[in-house]
A and B are shown apart, each in its own frame.
Chain A
Amino acid sequence: MSGFKSQRIPLPVESGGAFARADLRFLDLDHSRDTYEGRIFFNRPDADLKTATRLEEGYAGSLYVFGHPHCWGDVGHCALPPGPLHGYDHRAPHHLVPQVHVVRVTEAIRGLLERDVKTVTVSVLPIVRRGRRRRIAEDLLRFSRLELVTYD
């Protein structure tokens, strides 16, 4: 295993690249553990730590997660509650409510369309760094859904 690999996602070929922006949206992204970089490649299922972060190598961008690897609380403090108790529950959301992360990938999507590519497989390498050493931490990357969205 070397990170997340999506199913094939159809590209908006009918647009011909005439959109203002393209985003990857990671829904319900977990941030309860270590801080990490999620390095994103298009159509590069073989990408690893040595793959260059350049457009021509399939690199599309990175998401950066500021994590909560330490807990000050008692037992259960960092267990995500199901949500508000009722309509009069005005407490702030729990600090570990999953997030939506948005990565702008406009250039990378346009590049694929220019080469007449019809679909994209998204690979994400969750990378933890200690000093100058990097390693892939498979279990950090958790999210419910990945969306490719273009805007006119």
Chain B
Amino acid sequence: MSANRPVDTLPTRLRLRPSVQQLTAQQLDDVRTAIGEMAKVDDDRGFQHLASLHGGPPKSYCQHGYADSWSRYHGAPLFLPWHRAYLHFFELAMQDRVGEVMLAWWDWTSPQSHGEGIPSGFTGAGNPLAGQPIAKGQARPKGVPQDTWREPDVPGNLPDAGELKAIIELSSFMDFSTQLEQQLHNRIHGWVGGAMGSVPIAAFDPIFYAHHCMVDRIWRLWQLEHGQPGPPAASSGTVLDPFPLKVEDVLNVGNLGYDYAGTTTAVGGTG
């Protein structure tokens, strides 16, 4: 039996999250395998447990909404920091199953999305990315079916690149975060429909993670555009419950070991 390896001896190579629409066949297979294997695990390493952290059961942690009550929460919306922490822990659980796998982002503004709607890699019978049980083995609220389902709108009703650009250009983080959440994030949940259109069960649909990866990428693009992390300093110490991270820990994606690629092209080296 091996002891835990000291963290400071582990590799620290930054990894790139790719676009769903640019995944190689191997990368897509890795994502499918990781989710499929996570779905077989019925404890805190498994898909069902991690999906339940968003909207329950038993508790909803997801930090949606911009309400006056945020003033009690250090005056900052926690929507973006909380979901960045969530995706990080979800991705680590994926990597427990497939070492090289990374979350991938679904660019719903792309011409490809405006043609096909839901990415083809997330559809099809027997595909673990097409759907999962909702709270497997637990009592479900009235009206909630056994498995996730989707009712996508027509692709032409997805937001376009111009709408995204206008939101990234907003200079105030509070303004940017609110507009990103309400005008793009919420809209996509409604566009996919079905389980994705309900906060308490949305995260049981695997497309949730590709959607939120896109939302996280937009925050990263905003940070690069405006040269600042975003949330006010007063919120730095706020804990992102139930994860052992504070807001200040998730401001720099480099501290979490990843970044976002626009495109990636590679050739073999000298050996």
* Residues on the B chain within 8 Å of A64, using CB: 182-183, 186-187, 190
Distance, CA A130 to CA B119, complexed state (A)? 20
> Which of B57, B60, B178 is packed against the most chain A CB atoms within 10 Å?
B60
* Residues on the B chain within 8 Å of A71, using CB: 141, 200
Q: How many residues of A contact B (CB 8 A)?
A: 33
Contact B190 A66 (CB under 8 A): yes
Q: Chain A, 59-95, contact with B by CB distance < 8 Å: what is the 0/1 string?
A: 0001111111111110000000000100000001101
Tell me if B114 counts as interface (CB < 8 A to partner A).
Answer: no
Q: Which residues of B in the span 179-219 have a Cβ within 8 Å of any Cβ on A?
A: 179, 182-183, 185-187, 189-190, 193, 197-201
Q: Is the interface of B mostly helix, strand, loop or mixed?
A: loop
Contact B72 A93 (CB under 8 A): yes
Number of cross-chain contacts by CB at 8 Å: 97
* Residues on the A chain within 8 Å of B183, using CB: 64, 103
Contact A132 B199 (CB under 8 A): no
* Residues on the B chain within 8 Å of A97, using CB: 65, 67, 69
Kindly provide the distance from the CB of A82 to the nearest chain B CB, expressed in whole angstroms: 12
Tell me if B229 counts as interface (CB < 8 A to partner A).
Answer: no
Given contacts A92-B241, A100-B68, A129-B153, contact A68 B182 (CB under 8 A): no
* Residues on the A chain within 8 Å of B67, using CB: 93, 97-100
Q: How many residues of B contact A (CB 8 A)?
A: 40
- In-complex Cβ contact of A35 among B65, B66, B198 (8 A): B198
Contact B190 A129 (CB under 8 A): yes
Q: Chain B, 134-161, contact with A by CB distance < 8 Å: what is the 0/1 string?
A: 0100000111100000010110000000
* Residues on the B chain within 8 Å of A68, using CB: 55, 198-200
Kindly provide the distance from the CB of A138 to the nearest chain B CB, expressed in whole angstroms: 18
Tell me if A31 counts as interface (CB < 8 A to partner B).
Answer: yes
* Residues on the B chain within 8 Å of A65, using CB: 186
Nearest B residue to A71 via CB reads B141
Kindly provide the distance from the CB of B203 to the nearest chain A CB, expressed in whole angstroms: 12
Q: Chain B, 59-94, contact with A by CB distance < 8 Å: what is the 0/1 string?
A: 010011111111011000000000000000000000
Nearest B residue to A131 via CB reads B151
Distance, CA A99 to CA B56, complexed state (A)? 20
Name 29 A/B residue pairs within 8 A (Cβ), A-sorted: A34-B197, A35-B190, A35-B193, A35-B197, A64-B183, A64-B187, A65-B186, A67-B198, A67-B199, A69-B143, A69-B198, A69-B200, A70-B142, A70-B198, A71-B141, A72-B57, A72-B60, A72-B141, A72-B200, A92-B73, A93-B69, A95-B64, A97-B65, A99-B65, A102-B182, A103-B182, A129-B153, A131-B151, A132-B153
Q: Give 7 A-B pairs besides A64-B183, A71-B200 with Cβ atoms closer than 8 angstroms.
A: A63-B182, A64-B190, A65-B186, A70-B201, A72-B141, A84-B72, A99-B67
